[in-house]
Structure 1
Amino acid sequence: MHEGESGSRIARFKGRQNSPKGRTIAVPRILRKPEPGWCALAALCLVMMFSARIHGQEVASDWQSDARRFAEVQNWDAAMRVVDGVLRKAPQDVEAKTWRARILLWSGHIVESEREFRLLARAAPQDPDLRLGLASALGREERWKEGLRELDAAVEVDQKRADLHAARGRALRALGRMDDARQEFVTALQQEPASEESRAGLLSVRAEPKHELRLGTDTNLFNFAGTYQGEWVSLTSHWKEHWGTSFAGNFYQRNATIAGKFIASATGRSKRWGGLTLGGASAHDVGIIPETEAFYSYDRGWRIGESGFLRGAGAALEERWYWFTAARILTLNGTATFYLPREWTWSLSLLGARSRFSSTAAEWRPSGTTRLGFPLAARGERRLSGNVFFAAGTENFAIVDQVGRFSAQSYGGGFKFQFTRRQDVTAYAAYQKRTQDRTQTSFGFSYGIHF
């Protein structure tokens, strides 16, 4: 390059620097094109950082998926092992602690679940999910007032969650505040119209029928005597939550003879103490049914859980006196009922009867009955259920010539069909084999109206 050319080029470059259009800016070294080795190192660091983050998310997602899968099939031990494994590695993992409290609740360990949820809610009072979990545990213990306070706090944090309003509606319903419960379920449906849970809750707080009028007929066929026919009508009323009444009229037809009796009883009930019933009957006996009757019964139920084999249990004790023209009968009857999954029930009744006739000494006779109830079909409000039973030593104390005269084994079953919310029909049939080669075949129907 010649000296003149070099000088002219430098002059032109300096001129471009000084002119606004041609001015160039010096590029810092760090912003210049990096060396290929540095590019590879930076890319490797970024890949490692993002892969670690994604791996952590996948691990968290994996254990929650495993716990959820085991919980869906009610394998609580396996679900708890998954969660405990996470907590051994990360003792302060709030999500794992929450899962542990949930599994304890679902598996029926209510007290432990309440303790876990309470500790979590105390540490994070603004978390509505933890408040909801604690309220669920308290509800399972029927501590609805405490649970309602937790739900109130949860709704204050997030007023737009339908599940919180639905849970609050259930607590209010359990406390008997039906109007408030109805409003909560309506609010939940407004926020989530597709919620079946909220819709079912709203249906559950409709005004329940207080009265049941039932009409029935019974037929007894014997291989040693004429047919017995009976008709009856009853009216059962639940006036308030804590008390109710029952009235019934029974009519017996034996050949050309007709007998009848009137039965009345009153029941007082407490959620804490159970129910006590007192009653009696007076009859136009014509020598074939008791002249008078008196009885009392006590019953109580217990809720055990919603996840185990035994969901609940009930017990009832009844003592009844019968005064016939020529006999005195005292019966003591104890019944235990067990509530099983899928609406199955099993009951066992044991009865001791003390018979005393004018010409004989008093004598005790035992008998027992077992019954299994089960659902058959359901569609909307329509429900069909059935039952089968077996009895040994059962005696019919309502008819004078069947008292203390025989021992027997009975087999039978029945069904109940609820075809609307306010109407149902029942039917039964039984076969009884007695001593002396005597048999009895019985069947009956009834129709109930709820209003």
Structure 2
Amino acid sequence: MIKKVCFHRALHKLLALVSLISGSAMPVCAQTPLKREIIVGSNFDSFNFAGPAQALSLAYRADINPQFTLELDGYGYSRFGSGAGRGGLSLTYSPTRRTSATVGGSAGPSNPVAARGESFAEINHGIDVSEKGLIRGVEVDYRQGWLWFQNSQVAVFSPGVIFYMPGDCMLLVRVYQSRTDWKSLQSANWTTGASARLIVPLSAHLTGDVFYANGAENLTFADQVGRFSARTYGGGARYRIGSHEIGTHIYYQNRTLGQTQTTVSLGYAYRF
């Protein structure tokens, strides 16, 4: 049981930290790309069936020119009595203000609690819809990632849509399809799920959001392969003033077999 939990906790961290880093700035169609940015993130997990776990991330992003952006990042993990680390980079190409494509990857020493390698690709495009309607704009994107562990490899296919609404509100909807290939098994395991996040500005500097996920979305905040099923509820806030932004979120997950998990995340971004 612990080995299975370790595997999927590592996968959830990878996807969650990538999401944190790529989502800490507004999408391409919403604002001008940042010149430089430093992001620090941390996650703290507690379970009713295992010991606590932690993860740390550090990323530096900089525009090479108006069309290319380079990002360097590193991750550290501590869970279930083991530690791991990994470093990576990604490159984003933005031919227009509304369109971008990103490729990247990371690698680290082989270990029992985190992926030894990762690669991913993403493309998105923004579209204006209406100046007065409920939906002012739409951004569609597609992500695909591959992760390599000691005893398995995972492919994640994830289309998503962002709806831009009045008052700078946003609704993010994403569907996940993942394939896990275990070295000890002859067949692959497929899982499916979805998630939604509503973002609402509360003041000039404060933004709040609520989150819900079900099924294979639990790859972002859960251990769900085949026999596990879970629902995740969460929310948080970001406070931005000048070049600084701090954020905190909490997620609660209720799984089958009476298992629960609580995740608290903290983040800080400095843009210059």
Q: Which TM-score tier does this pair reach, normalised by the shorter chain?
A: 0.7 to 0.9
Deviation at 1:359, TM superposition (A): 2.5
Superposed CA RMSD: 2.1
* 1:395 and 2:221 are equivalent in the alignment: no
Equivalent of 1:413 in 217, 235, 239: 235
Distance 1:389 1:222 in 2: 20
Question: What is the correspondence of 1:68-147 to structure 2 with a 5 Å cutoff?
Answer: none
User: Structure 2-normalised TM-score?
Assistant: 0.83
Q: Which amino acid aligns with 2:210?
A: V
Distance 2:255 2:137 in 1: 35
Distance 2:218 2:110 in 1: 19
* 1:374 and 2:200 are equivalent in the alignment: yes
Asked if structure 1 preserves the Cα contact closer than 8 Å seen for 2:221 and 2:232, the reply is: no
Distance 1:279 1:253 in 2: 24
Asked if structure 1 preserves the Cα contact closer than 8 Å seen for 2:98 and 2:127, the reply is: no
**Structure 1 residues 443 and 303, CA gap change in structure 2 (3 angstroms):** same
Deviation at 1:403, TM superposition (A): 5.9
Deviation per residue, 1:324-381 (Å, 9 max, x gap) = 1111111100110000001111111000001111222102110110110101012xxx
Distance 1:450 1:326 in 2: 39
Deviation at 1:247, TM superposition (A): 1.3
- The equivalent residue for 2:137 is 312
User: Structure 1-normalised TM-score?
Assistant: 0.51
Distance 1:272 1:409 in 2: 36
- The equivalent residue for 1:450 is 271
Q: Which amino acid aligns with 2:246?
A: V
Deviation at 1:236, TM superposition (A): 1.5
- The equivalent residue for 2:255 is 434
Give 3-state SS (helix, strand or coil) of 2:167's partner: helix
Distance 1:238 1:368 in 2: 32
Asked if structure 1 preserves the Cα contact closer than 8 Å seen for 2:171 and 2:198, the reply is: yes
More strand by share: 2
- The equivalent residue for 1:227 is 52
- The equivalent residue for 2:188 is 362
Q: Which amino acid aligns with 1:278?
A: V
Distance 1:435 1:223 in 2: 13
Distance 2:63 2:203 in 1: 28
Distance 2:150 2:55 in 1: 21
Query: How many residues are paired up?
Result: 239
Looking at both structures, which has the greater relative contact order when contacts are Cα pairs under 8 Å and sequence separation is at least 6?
A: 2
Equivalent of 1:275 in 100, 103, 115: 100
Give 3-state SS (helix, strand or coil) of 2:202's partner: strand
**Structure 1 residues 305 and 240, CA gap change in structure 2 (3 angstroms):** farther
Distance 2:213 2:110 in 1: 27
Distance 2:179 2:259 in 1: 23
Deviation per residue, 1:141-186 (Å, 9 max, x gap) = xxxxxxxxxxxxxxxxxxxxxxxxxxxxxxxxxxxxxxxxxxxxxx
Deviation per residue, 1:44-97 (Å, 9 max, x gap) = xxxxxxxxxxxxxxxxxxxxxxxxxxxxxxxxxxxxxxxxxxxxxxxxxxxxxx
Asked if structure 2 preserves the Cα contact closer than 8 Å seen for 1:414 and 1:427, the reply is: yes
- The equivalent residue for 1:238 is 63
Asked if structure 1 preserves the Cα contact closer than 8 Å seen for 2:209 and 2:237, the reply is: yes
Equivalent of 1:423 in 222, 235, 244: 244
- The equivalent residue for 2:171 is 346
Deviation at 1:272, TM superposition (A): 7.5
**Structure 1 residues 397 and 337, CA gap change in structure 2 (3 angstroms):** closer
Distance 2:213 2:80 in 1: 28
Distance 1:327 1:398 in 2: 19
Give 3-state SS (helix, strand or coil) of 1:436's partner: helix
User: Which 4+ residue blocks in structure 1 deviate beyond 6 angstroms?
Assistant: none
Asked if structure 1 preserves the Cα contact closer than 8 Å seen for 2:254 and 2:261, the reply is: yes
Query: Percent sequence identity over matched residues?
Result: 27
* 1:299 and 2:124 are equivalent in the alignment: yes
Deviation at 1:211, TM superposition (A): 0.7
Distance 2:253 2:46 in 1: 10
Q: Which amino acid aligns with 2:267?
A: S
My pick for the range that moved more, 223-232 or 237-246, is: 237-246
- The equivalent residue for 1:328 is 153
Asked if structure 1 preserves the Cα contact closer than 8 Å seen for 2:143 and 2:157, the reply is: yes
Asked if structure 2 preserves the Cα contact closer than 8 Å seen for 1:249 and 1:262, the reply is: yes
Asked if structure 2 preserves the Cα contact closer than 8 Å seen for 1:247 and 1:263, the reply is: yes
Deviation at 1:290, TM superposition (A): 1.1
**Structure 1 residues 306 and 273, CA gap change in structure 2 (3 angstroms):** closer
Structure 1 stretches of 5 or more lacking a match? 1-203
Deviation at 1:307, TM superposition (A): 1.7
Q: Which amino acid aligns with 1:430?
A: Y
Distance 1:335 1:236 in 2: 23
Asked if structure 2 preserves the Cα contact closer than 8 Å seen for 1:221 and 1:440, the reply is: yes
Distance 2:189 2:197 in 1: 27
